[in-house]
Structure 1
């Protein structure tokens, strides 16, 4: 049974996004802030990626065993360690720790990379990077941590916005893009995907057909249907609907747009169609979702 990082860390996190009442349950990542006296963590394997950001200003000795290999090194301020999902890793540190641990669900990372950055990632998604320095990425992590200190709606908005910034920075620098020559027999490459995504974005308020998307990819309809599903795991029309719902979710977080406006902007036939489709995918009606995200105006 896979365990959570904080279940085997020798002290409880000082801050934890999972415990914050106003942080979205659908957030892109979990953020935990730890300080612990010299100690160790047993080797374990997790289903999620872990990004460890060192905020301890004094260099200190750390040992990390990953996949059976021991590393004994000096951990410096702003050093980062990426442990991809599926890696067996254990730790020992010889001075008080001061770290932010960011946990990423591979499925959410894949979806974000595709829809927001037009990136097709390799299954492993990130390089196995035992140690590198990136003050810019650490600064973004500190903003995430600080947003947890005040558990209110404004901090929640800051957390969600910065989580997107952090993930964009991380993927652009360290994400493993799928090589064109291994994009399955499909030959559905990143270039194909970006043309299709651009068409969906430009015509989101209109009817989008498989024929339209196949034309953007310069493929026959039958071939496009097959290679799209092989590469992305869903049919083209399932993907279009998921994208419409994703954009509607973002708009619903803002109180200044009506349900009718969102329905039209996201290409639903009418408001009733929007409500049915939204509830089918998210389990909530648009009204229920907005009520949980936007505070009442007094």
Structure 2
């Protein structure tokens, strides 16, 4: 049985990998590995992740790539990036020692990050329209991310910060589809979503009603509820509860912070309400989550 994870089939172990860190929230969004691998090849298969190859080698070198039946034979330049989206069958052969950062992303997590952090609704294609390009800025962001792993002080914090920088640059530059390609109703646009998200960010600790969210979007309550569910895949109430639970997960890392204080700070009616919703979404109680974090 073949693996669908990129890390399990690369022919050499990485010299640097963020798996050596205690995972932060950022580590749940991406996986970074750095390779200096001798000439070799990788099998032709489909992966469940997007994988992004970032070339740091100064000297150009020959690389072959098989991509959904198409054979590409080209010279790989410094700062050149190759994106292979999840679900695309690909294989590789490189003819000189590599010096490459490989970043892999789970599509659903990338979509959730873009939606919750940037207010951007990624189309179903996500990164499919950008197979190969040169971008020194993205390369430098990846190098900072790699170097954070080896930092002698504050590597967890640095990795979190630089991972956000990398993801935001990637999404803002390459993750947004053209307006006429966006896969959501024209009656509920990204601007509607951004206004609602900003309102929830500011008000999640307080009473957030369906009517208030609809007012922020500039829609009637009925149309807002229907279009929001159609576009986001959650009802407004489910979205609000998910947002509050995400905030609570960060607060639970403060070991001495009382559960009641977290519950009230996140807008839950009481501690019992907090525990019930948290368990419904996370499969464990807040106390269990804190213990395992």
After TM superposition, the score normalised by the length of structure 2 is 0.89
Residues 15 and 34 in structure 2, CA contact (< 8 A), matched pair in contact too: yes
- Farther-moved stretch of structure 1 (206-215 vs 275-284): 275-284
- Corresponding residue SS for 1:72: strand
Q: Deviations over 1:77-105 (max 9, x none)?
A: 22111111122221111100111111111
Match of 2:154 in 1: 154
Match of 2:168 in 1: 168
Residues 137 and 166 in structure 1, CA contact (< 8 A), matched pair in contact too: yes
CA RMSD of aligned residues (A): 2.5
Q: Deviations over 1:237-269 (max 9, x none)?
A: 000111111122233345685544433332112
Tell me, in whole angstroms, the C-alpha distance in 2 between the residues paired with 1:8 and 1:259: 44
By percentage of residues, which structure has more strand? 1
Residues 185 and 231 in structure 2, CA contact (< 8 A), matched pair in contact too: no
Residues 39 and 94 in structure 1, CA contact (< 8 A), matched pair in contact too: yes
Note the 1:7-26 alignment, pairs <5 A: 7-17=8-18, 19-20=19-20, 22-24=22-24
Structure 1, unpaired ranges of 5+: 294-298
- Corresponding residue SS for 2:123: strand
After TM superposition, the score normalised by the length of structure 1 is 0.87
- Corresponding residue SS for 2:36: strand
Tell me, in whole angstroms, the C-alpha distance in 2 between the residues paired with 1:256 and 1:159: 25
Moved over 6 A (4+): none
CA 1:34 to 1:181, structure 2 compared with 1: closer, same or farther past 3 Å? Answer: closer
Residues 56 and 97 in structure 1, CA contact (< 8 A), matched pair in contact too: yes
Q: CA deviation at 1:291?
A: 4.4
Tell me, in whole angstroms, the C-alpha distance in 1 between the residues paired with 2:165 and 2:259: 28
Match of 1:81 in 2: 82
Is 2:17 the partner of 1:54?
no
Residues 66 and 91 in structure 2, CA contact (< 8 A), matched pair in contact too: yes
Tell me, in whole angstroms, the C-alpha distance in 1 between the residues paired with 2:268 and 2:229: 23
CA 1:22 to 1:241, structure 2 compared with 1: closer, same or farther past 3 Å? Answer: same
- Corresponding residue SS for 1:120: coil
CA 1:136 to 1:290, structure 2 compared with 1: closer, same or farther past 3 Å? Answer: farther
Residues 120 and 176 in structure 2, CA contact (< 8 A), matched pair in contact too: no
Q: CA deviation at 1:135?
A: 2.1
Structure 2, unpaired ranges of 5+: none
Residues 65 and 90 in structure 2, CA contact (< 8 A), matched pair in contact too: yes
- Corresponding residue SS for 2:234: coil
Tell me, in whole angstroms, the C-alpha distance in 2 between the residues paired with 1:174 and 1:188: 22
CA 1:198 to 1:86, structure 2 compared with 1: closer, same or farther past 3 Å? Answer: same
CA 1:4 to 1:273, structure 2 compared with 1: closer, same or farther past 3 Å? Answer: same
Match of 2:280 in 1: 280
- Corresponding residue SS for 1:12: coil
CA 1:175 to 1:256, structure 2 compared with 1: closer, same or farther past 3 Å? Answer: farther
CA 1:255 to 1:168, structure 2 compared with 1: closer, same or farther past 3 Å? Answer: farther
Q: CA deviation at 1:39?
A: 1.2
- Farther-moved stretch of structure 1 (210-219 vs 190-199): 210-219
Q: CA deviation at 1:22?
A: 1.0
The alignment covers a number of residue pairs equal to 291
